[in-house]
Structure 1
Amino acid sequence: MSSARRNALMLINPNARRGSDTLDPVIARLERGGIDVKVERFHTPREVSADIERRHNEVDLVIVCGGDGTINSAAKGIMATGLPMGIMPMGTANDLARTLAIPDDLLAAADIILAGQTRRVDLGEVNGHPFFNVASMGLSADLANSLSREAKRRWGKLGYALAAARVLLKARPFSATIINRSGEVQVKTLQIAVGNGRHYGGGTVVEANAAIDDGHLDLYSLEQDNVFRLLLLLGAFRKGTHGAWEEVRTDKCVEFDIRTKREMPINTDGDLVTTTPAHFVIRPSAVAIFAPGPARPGR
């Protein structure tokens, strides 16, 4: 580890689930380790990448404090500047941190940044909007629409579970066309998800062998209209083995197009950002994130 001091821009989302936690011990740990920290708090997602680009000549790295939505907001700025990113997992699900084996303990997360090891990871993109974990339409978009910021802060993962139960009871299939380099297929589905990383939705696995640096996207389409049968699938989704069920269509590619009969909202890393028709593409090795070395899927 170099003895030269480094400068970090620390971006804090005060609205994150743990946004009111004090970061003084974390900042002290970083500064003792040779990183001088410049702190900025923001209140709207659009500020995050703008701040990174505006201040990139002043700093050597960026530290993002928040959940998956906050980290997503930093993606364009990180790509544009090439600065490495550290993560302080302070959200509800923290799926990107889970994918990269970054612990919820903030002092331990600070130690990972101090160690200086970075891992280059892919970014997914849908209609020009980046995503680290998953972009989806159907059930998860309905869930994102129904789960308020207040509910996430108050109830955490329990809030997700309660909202998911309400969404499932009202779920109705929709018609879609999935297009990739091998052709196109018509489906009637409850959800289509396109994954870049490994985890989403509080620890659910996109696909058993998915990795955030494997250079492709993993798609699944949930073609089941029986809610009670769907409940049987939940365990498979937690392990990423849902592709073995006949009700779940899976595919891998570097580019997808999805069209629907009616315009449908698309959820990226927990936020609704665009609608169908949707063009998905992978951006390999797009950003560097401070993280331990990659683990094998399933570990």
Structure 2
Amino acid sequence: MRYDKVFLIGNPIAGGGGALKRIEKAQEILRQRGIHFETLLTKKRGDAEHFAKKIKENHSGKILVIVAGGDGTYNEVVNGLAFSQIPMAILPMGTTSVLAKELKIPKNIEKAVEIAVAGKTQRVHLGIIENQQKQRLFILMAGVGFDGMAVFGVNPQKKKYLRKIAYILSGIKTLFKYTPTELIVNNSEPKKAYSAVVCKASCYGGNFKIAPDANLTDPCLYTFLSKTKSRIGLIFQILGILFGFHLKMKNTDYFKTENLNISGDAHIQIDGDYFGKTPAEIKVIKNALTLVFPFQT
């Protein structure tokens, strides 16, 4: 047996509340494989991070943490498990599960469990963001400006029942009333912009790739800047992202870095959840997490 103990951290309301049956199916598969496991189900925001911290503090040896949820649940466990040697594997159950798409983890629960318990482990690099109120790790991206405002406007009840549609509706609503304020993005030299997406992974909002060069095993951040104040210009840039030609458009910038500061007055989201407002400092944290990958990647 590869692991002495497996912890299954599950969010039963992920993906609009349909995750519980899939979590139960994952439990049955683990039992059939003769794997000794313990299930920890979240009831509120913060539970997954609390569970992960307790596992890190109280257990040693060959331990595996499997996270059944969406990107918000993954982010919580990342913040709880980081800087330990305990591997984290995922079962996609969320609204979009961008991390699952990044790792090429299938939705099929049997295949996802197989990867979780038998996949290869590798250290990955994370992003960390800090503003005047708090500090937090992220594994996918930090969105500042339009991105952050759209997530800020998501209605929790609509997110619960409408899932991905709730984000789309909030994005459309934000677009119609969006009046961006100027950001100063300070890397090696100051750059003016109205929105920024700082990526640790390439996938964004599903299969779209706003930073196609970003990779969890690359110890860098890739930043996409929108420099347009025009609503029409922003619409064209969004279309550029959808069809993959945004990096060639005017009023954009794209660069690789290990750290940057963003000043101004704008909302921020990380890994699909609201974080707060600028100013903020963003850095890469190297070799911060052990993650389970499929063997073919």
Q: How does 1:138-149 map to 2 (within 5 A)?
A: 138-149=145-156
- 1:129-278 matches, within 5 Å, as 129-180=136-187, 182-185=188-191, 187-189=192-194, 191-238=195-242, 240-260=244-264, 262=265, 264-278=266-280
Residue of structure 1 equivalent to 2:8: 10
More deviation in 88-97 or 4-13? 4-13
- Deviation, structure 1 residue 28: 2.0
Within 2, Cα distance between the matches of 1:103 and 1:6?
Answer: 25
2:150 corresponds to which letter in structure 1?
A: L
Q: Retained in 2: the 8 A contact 1:99–1:197? A: yes
Indicate conservation of the 8 Å contact 1:208/1:241, yes or no: no
TM-score (norm 2): 0.89
1:208 counterpart letter in structure 2: P
111 and 39 in structure 1: CA distance in 2 versus 1, 3 angstrom threshold: same
Q: How far off its partner does 1:245 sit?
A: 0.8
Change (3 A) 1:252 1:43: same
CA distance in 1, matches of 2:23, 2:75: 21
Instruction: Decide which of 114, 117, 121 is 2:117's aligned counterpart.
Output: 114
Q: Give the match for residue 33 of structure 1.
A: 33
Q: Give the corresponding residue for 2:285.
A: 283
Structure 2 unmatched ranges of 5 or more: none
Q: Which stretch shows the higher mean deviation, 72-81 or 238-247?
A: 238-247
Counterpart selection for 1:71 from 65, 71, 74: 74
User: Relative to structure 2, which stretch is displaced further, 251-260 or 76-85?
Assistant: 76-85
Does the Cα contact within 8 Å between 1:173 and 1:188 map onto a contact in 2? no
Rounded Cα–Cα distance in structure 1 between residues aligned with 2:2 and 2:241: 46
Does structure 2 retain, via aligned residues, the 8 Å contact 1:8–1:62?
yes
Q: 1:252, CA displacement in angstroms?
A: 1.0
The Cα offsets for residues 117-148 of structure 1, whole Å up to 9 and x where unpaired, read as 12322211101311111111111111111112
In percent, how many aligned pairs have the same letter? Answer: 25
Partner of 1:49: 49
Residues 200 and 269, structure 1, Cα contact 8 Å, conserved in 2: no
Amino acid at match of 2:293: A
Which residue identity lines up with residue 148 of structure 1 in the other structure? N
What is the RMSD of the two structures over their aligned residues, measured on CA atoms?
Answer: 2.0
Displacement of 1:239 after TM fit? 5.4
- Would you say how many aligned residue pairs link Structure 1 and Structure 2? 288
* SS of aligned partner of 1:118: strand
**Deviation of 1:4 (Å):** 5.4
- Which of the residues 80, 83, 87 maps onto 2:86? 83
TM-score by length of 1: 0.88
Q: Given the superposition, is the C-alpha separation of residues 233 and 265 from structure 1 closer, same or farther in structure 2, using an over 3 Å criterion?
A: closer
Q: Is the 8 A contact 1:93 1:203 kept in 2?
A: no
